[in-house]
Structure 1
Amino acid sequence: METFALAMRKTFRYSFYILALFAILLVLLPDYQILFQSLLLGVGAGIVNTLVLASKVWIVGQSGDNPAVRPKGTGTMLRMMIAGLAAYATFLFPHIFALAGVLIGLFLIQGLSYLIVYRNLK
């Protein structure tokens, strides 16, 4: 589980770097304000989704060491509801967010976490 914890620490560190980069670009490039606001929403939702998944995987890992710990699922419905809430906010406020940016932000963090975990398990 130490390898997994290290991978998740790196994932969250790089995710917050990406979040900060998009916030800086939002300030520096006001012409692309809608795109960067959408990316910020998507990355924020992606970070929450990764946090939920990491906590559930941690509990499953702990159940291997201690049989008294009972995992209760992988949080798929919660993660789908978070992504759905981000998409719903996009449709509620089309003048603030664009769906393409939100989806890119969501998948960017998931792809980043898969890449970092895969590289740490080698």
Structure 2
Amino acid sequence: MYEIWSIGRKPYESDSNISAMEKICSSERLPPPPGCPEAIYSLMISCWHPVASERPNFHKIMVSLLQPNKNILTIPESALSSHPQAGSLGGTLKAGENMYPEIQNCYSDTIDTAL
């Protein structure tokens, strides 16, 4: 999903493999790509759960995406006002940093028990 919403960009593209692994193991997650709605980013984060058994399977992802939710593809006005460039699909990946911090940092407490 990240690659789709970032229009083909590689996750952690400027990091070495070791650096990317260190970030992931310290509960750091990628910020949402520009143009990525909160609901989609939340789904991405659930797919990156540190405990594999807690990640949604394909069926759960499909059901989540097929829910009749007209807000699934919207970005909250509050997020756009503080991150105006983040609303442009294909913009710089830095534009989405700290856009949804409560979602991005949700595994801070979980990571220690998962390792």
TM-score w.r.t. the length of structure 1 is 0.26
* Higher CA-based Rg: 1
Which protein is richer in helix relative to its size? Answer: 1
